[in-house]
Amino acid sequence: MAGAAMNKPYRNRFALIAIAAALALGGPIGCSGGSETPPLAGARIGGPFTLTDQDGKRVSDTAFAGKYRLVYFGYTFCPDICPTDLQKMGQGMRALEKEDAAAAAKIQPIFISIDPARDTPAVLKAYVPAFHPRLIGLTGTQAEIDAVAKEFAVFHAKVPTKDGSDNYLMNHSTQMVLFDPTGAPLALIPQDKSPEEMAAEMKRWVK
């Protein structure tokens, strides 16, 4: 697969800037149903959307009502960062399934492409099962992806090739965010931790 995500220092910087901005614009601080306040409570991250899944079906955010959502933006042609992060997502989900199957069942992992020109439903259908059997891949028109990326505070930009070929890169932020059953943001799930640590962070907020 050709292409790449942005280098780690830059992707982390964009992720932190986007999250900080969302927190600064956020409303009243809430909680996840327990006594502890989630770190992203009140941040303006997320929103309504209608995209196309790997089976070619139109899917709206309302389809996930009542489910926690573990959301990651990336693209299938990325040779390193995205597949590594998605592998971590799958490993974290499996670790949680092993420790607390009921909690894991409440979480819907979601991969949203920021490269809809190449990431067709057929491409996503061949890609997402490699990471977790319940991972849903979403794509759409460029306008739809631009809109949902903005709502979710995700930076993304195409880096054209000199020859204009389709082997271009995509720069983008790569935060993995856990949302509650209403779609409100709860916490960043750290991709640089072990699967067990990722599972523990998810379980911390899943009620």
Binding residues: 78, 82, 172
Alpha-carbon gap, residue 64 to 53, rounded angstroms: 13
Alpha-carbon gap, residue 107 to 189, rounded angstroms: 13
Question: Which residues are annotated binding-site positions for Cu cation?
Answer: 78, 82, 172
* CA angle (90, 189, 4) in 5-degree steps: 65
Please give the full DSSP string across 1-49, using - where no structure is assigned: ----PPPHHHHHHHHHHHHHHHHHT--S---SSSSSPPTTTT-------
